[in-house]
Amino acid sequence: MPDDNSRTVLVIDDDQDIVSLVAMVLEAEGYTVQTAADGREGLQKLERDMPDLILLDMKMPVMDGWEFAREFHARHDSKVPIVVLTAAADARRRAEEIGAQGWIGKPFDLDTLVVVVDRYATLREQ
């Protein structure tokens, strides 16, 4: 269980290299990181523990980001912000399509990742 000062980020992405990099960077910043390889696994993780932020890839096998977002909003009356993590040319549009609070385009700068996560990980409290 994380301490009271630690924020939890759930990273849902099928690219294991990206997941490992994001986890390493965010853990170095003091975050607790949970991971899922697709939307279905992400929903299963949410049944056990609700994170402070979800980083969501859009194109994944099994359950993509669009389906995950629909299921998440239908199942959970939660204020957890979603930030889309996508290689799509228009990351902002992808985020708007699912009602996400923010977006990060791939490839991304690690400093930008930290700034965006810091910005949105505190929204759940408000």
Domains in the chain with CATH codes: 8-125 (3.40.50.2300)
The verdict on pTM exceeding 0.75 is: yes
pLDDT of residue 12 exceeding 90, the answer is yes
Closest CA to 32 of 57, 53, 58: 53
pLDDT tens digit string along 79-121? 899 999 988 788 889 899 999 999 998 889 999 999 999 999 9
User: Residue 124's pLDDT is what?
Assistant: 61
Over residues 35-58, the mean pLDDT reads: 95
pLDDT more than 70, % of the chain: 94
Tell me if 117 sits within 8 A of 102, measured CB to CB. Answer: no
